[in-house]
Amino acid sequence: MQTIAIVDYGMGNVRSVQKAFEFVAPNNRSILTNDPQLINDADRVVFPGQGAMGACMLALHEHNLVEVIKKSAAEKPFLGICLGLQLLFDHSEENNGTDGLSIIQGKVVKFANNKLKIPHMGWNTVNQVSAHPLWHNIDNNARFYSVHSYYVQEKDSSVVAGSTEYGHSFTSAITKDRMFAVQFHPEKSQHDGLQLLKNFVDW
């Protein structure tokens, strides 16, 4: 049995993420925690998030989670979800500018097309830009559920694993070593979302 630590720093509906993992991996232990030691000891780490990036970074510092997240992202299977993708980058335009964790080079910018409804909310297809184990048994251009007003712009295109169209093409999944992160919410994306979470457990 392996332990899946879901980082709980007070931002987002982490219980829905835990319930999804309990469904796809009933023989594993899925825990919600803000304890750096439990996260460090876990076999796999999930980094979800919703809300404003400034408040999230403040919460990470308050719970002493910054270093253990960086360490986990470098050393073990690591899944970022929604704001958990954006926080991996260097800097965001949100909250008049917020520094991220600088695990992935690049920035987070706001959708600027005035004709678009912001936040981007609903179901959109994800183009699998590169082959990856987390796409196993998921059709290319499968639909996933998203809620966000900002999107990532990476410096190195080799990290891009998926893209989505909303006014223009933007990166909706990235990967580097044992890290995978997505802009959409797999826990809210029905069959294909649950398949992605199961793939992460088996990765």
3-class secondary structure, 139:
coil
The Cα 48–Cα 84 span in angstroms is: 5
Secondary structure class of 17 (helix, strand, coil): helix
d(Cα 18, Cα 6) in Å, to the nearest integer?
Answer: 7
Active-site residue identified among 56, 82, 120, 148: 82
Name the catalytic one among 94, 120, 148, 187.
187
82 is catalytic: yes
Our answer to whether residue 61 is catalytic in this structure is no
Q: Whole-angstrom Cα distance, residue 171 to residue 157?
A: 9
Closest CA to 35 of 59, 15, 9: 9
Q: What are phi and psi of 73, to 5 degrees?
A: -65, -25
Q: Please pick, among 94, 120, 148, 185, the residue that the annotation labels catalytic.
A: 185
Tally the residues of the chain.
Answer: 203
Residues marked as catalytic: 82, 185, 187
